[in-house]
Chains A and B, each alone.
Chain A
């Protein structure tokens, strides 16, 4: 790892005055202010979690960083370039809640997909794919087809695929949300190992307070209607984390701090029951397709 002081100097993600409004095309009434006045800077090597109730725009924020949807106003810089340029330069890898593996490709073929698209040679693709499958401990399954793997294994393939191009930034949208608690905790440990070995910057969207505190160097707490950042909590746990980390007193304090930050938002009008975030994200998906 580079030293903390150096990495702080170069932000990988720089978000300034960003807002995102979803306009219902037919009626004004469906206009949703998904995000307002977002400012956030993420340094190289950081692990930043975005947490908040449904409707707070955390997924939308991640999609803005990845240029999967454009902001209504403000600027987003990734690796020192506009977000769109960074996407075209393939500066980031993305992991979604579903693994989205291609049925007709083997595990290795799936990991090679982004390498094929970026024009890597065959030898290079094979070597990189195998290297990253080893990283997620799936090299024995290179020749399997996705349906032969469990949900957790499929998600690990998706992570290997995102890392295969050696991105400076890894964007993860509730990647373990669909997994059971046991698998999720194991995946958390594995993700930390990967983060350590690859030295990537990770932006991680989650619903889980425990997960956010356990994984992150910083937790960004968001609140809904309109979606905004309500507080940022530094997670000053030791960098090396393991099963015992979850039993540290400091860990409990931080979990409590995040929980209170979230509860503060609820009092100020956020309702965790509404799925505005998901609706917004789906609308963006539809927009992206027609565009």
Chain B
């Protein structure tokens, strides 16, 4: 009884999400119904009937090119190319390649971010000297930085991962900086009474106390790592990742708009996937602690 109640409570956000998602899909089609191109559907839901509809209005943004029908985008996933690959297998293969570089970038960026935060927390004057540079680094558009990094490092997967690192380290640095100072000041007194070294304070107080903050940083950093990976693939002309598929989608947009939409769907699913992965790890790591309010965000 209690168990099923708690299971229901855990399912509630999922139900909410699905509801919102379905509402968005309906709104999408409603716009097309009111102001899109002419509808012509043969064999509606396998009944053999034909459905024709001429929308009363014409919205410029709701044509079949700009806003394809949802079923057209879904159908695109099953289309085969000349080699016999379906769109879905091609996009998933590309997503996997992008994910690998994003994962390497995330790991590197998180490590750098944490080490930087640990350094800045202990050497106060460095914080004032370095932090503005760290912030400035994020104001340069990644589109401008990516070619410099990728070409500077030979245009291979490693350069791509570094672009991903560049986007990842910042949220982790900021979150870790705050987290490493988020301990209870009385706990610091306790550590002083134990004559604890700086390392012991770091390992036994600062780092464990920072975890809820760190995970907030990781949750922002993980999808950013995916974006960084895709942006990094653009100037490197790497053929294996999602960037190539997005460019293809752009080139053939006027002929096959659904393809670009399919790549958008896969890219965003990848971002959501890595976010959920981080959130899952967070729940597991912090399973014994009552979560501080700050981490609930």
Q: Which residues of A contact B (CB under 8 A)?
A: 66, 68, 87-90, 92-94, 96, 98, 100, 102-104, 113-114, 116-118, 145, 147, 285-286, 288-289
Contacts and interface: CB of A to CB of B under 8 A. Distances in A.
A114 B194 contact: yes
Interface string B174-211: 00000000001111111111111100100011001101
A284 to B, nearest CB: 9
Given A96-B186, A104-B208, A114-B194, 19 more contacts: A66-B193, A68-B192, A68-B193, A87-B192, A87-B193, A88-B195, A93-B193, A96-B189, A96-B190, A102-B187, A104-B288, A117-B195, A117-B196, A117-B197, A145-B289, A285-B186, A285-B189, A288-B192, A289-B185
Nearest to A145: B288
Shortest beta-carbon contacts, A-B, top 6: A94-B193, A88-B195, A103-B289, A104-B208, A117-B194, A117-B196
Interface of B: 184-197, 200, 204-205, 208-209, 211, 288-290
A90 B190 contact: no
Contacts of B290: 103, 147
Nearest to A282: B185
A263 to B, nearest CB: 32
A103 B290 CA distance: 8
Contacts, number: 61
A289 B187 CA distance: 11
A87 B192 CA distance: 8
A285 B204 contact: no
A100 B190 CA distance: 8
A288 B187 CA distance: 12
Contacts of B189: 68, 96, 285, 288
B56 to A, nearest CB: 61
Contact of A104 (B191, B192, B194, B211): B211
14 contacts: A87-B193, A90-B194, A94-B193, A96-B186, A96-B190, A98-B186, A102-B204, A103-B290, A117-B196, A117-B200, A147-B289, A288-B188, A289-B185, A289-B188
A286 B211 CA distance: 24
Contacts of B211: 104
B289 A92 contact: no
